Amino acid sequence: MLATLTHKRVVLGVSGGIAAYKSADLVRRLRDAGAEVQVVMTAAAQQFITPLTMQALSGNPVHTELLNADAEAGMGHIELARWADLVLIAPASADVMARLAQGVANDLLTTLWLATRAKRAVAPAMNQQMWAAQVTQDNVAKLQTHQVTVFQPASGSQACGDVGAGRMLEAVELAQHCANLFQTGALTGKRVVITAGPTREALDPVRYISNHSSGKMGFSLAEACIEAGAHVTLISGPVHLATPDRVAQVKVISALDMLAASQKAVAEGCDLFIATAAVADYRPANIAEQKIKKVGDAISIELVKNPDIVATIAQLPNRPFVLGFAAETERVEDYARGKLSAKKLDMIACNDVSRADIGFQSDDNAMTVFWRNNGRVQLDKSPKAHIARALVALCAQQMNNLDEQSR
């Protein structure tokens, strides 16, 4: 199993059917591949396997009711829909698939299915004649037109004694198929350099100037670029995050350190430069060799301007495609478009950090993305992993457009 589900959030929906016993193994396989799993069970599913079993295997409470006071006080059905990177229903009975195809939302599972922006997939399991029925095949086709992935069932002997197609795929196969869903190929072979986190500008041996950046957005983008097939170098200021799998991380402290590392990485080969780091605009003109003592009621510190890393990279000859970030507290669009033009960027993603529910330290974000020729896309509040995938897709699209225009 490739470690391609690391940090992914999977909602596993279990509907009624004898194949529900395979879902227990599937939870284990998904977690082995690095995913965090939340299980949702229909009333019929609970006749075949207990919520306690799924709770023990997933390490999370199992969700069974749409209108549950305890659940709504914590992670309600909308929050669960927003939390997921993937909603997988396995087994998916003929009844559940029919309801999904018609947009029915009369229980927790079908409601969160409609409410999610995550990837969606079903693993059908039913009697071979039910699977072959034209109405079932019509429902399958309708789901596929709505960008639902259908993991086609296997053939073989069934619990009812029939032989034919309709058996749910084995857990190890489904886990691998889920991992494959995140491999987009949009940046296959591309070399990406990403800056992330804050910088620290030393005042003396023990004090520094910095900001509240957690690095989460940049690290999410690194994972999204890996999923898209890129080779990724992540230049990170001081953060408390694990290095994403298959990412080459370069750790730095100051803005000057980050600039030097960025120039070196770009010189070694770069197709896409993503500047998410919250680089300190200024640094102390002089760093005290010894700890500054507390003397008097005020202190004056002379600051000098730091180099603008993203603008420096954007003005290089034979430069890469450059995505910049702007964290603003007012006049978000005006400032973003101004920076897009002044810094000669290809694209800029801007968020309003005055909002308490997104941005620094938060697991969620919301972005407005601008590019040349008045391009604009709004990315509504979502987990940073979702925002990262959307940004990578936009970059890949615009890079392809520029390639076509240059031919």
* Residues annotated as catalytic (active site), given as ranges: 160
How far apart, in Å, are the Cα atoms of 52 and each of 24, 44, 57? 11, 15, 9
Q: Contact 272/323 with Cβ under 8 angstroms? A: yes
DSSP 306: P
Q: Contact 276/218 with Cβ under 8 angstroms? A: yes
Cα distance between residue 164 and residue 156, in whole Å: 5
Structure tokens at 168: 């749910």
Q: Which helix (H) or strand (E) holds 120?
A: strand 119-124
Cα distance between residue 168 and residue 123, in whole Å: 6
DSSP 85: S
Q: Contact 254/201 with Cβ under 8 angstroms? A: yes
Cα distance between residue 70 and residue 62, in whole Å: 12
Q: Contact 399/272 with Cβ under 8 angstroms? A: yes
- φ, ψ of residue 46 to 5 degrees: the values are -70, -10
Cα distance between residue 10 and residue 128, in whole Å: 28
Whether omega before 91 lies within 30 degrees of 0, making that bond cis, reads yes
Q: Contact 125/156 with Cβ under 8 angstroms? A: no
Q: Which helix (H) or strand (E) holds 383?
A: strand 375-383
Among 347, 351, 348, residue whose Cα is nearest residue 398: 347
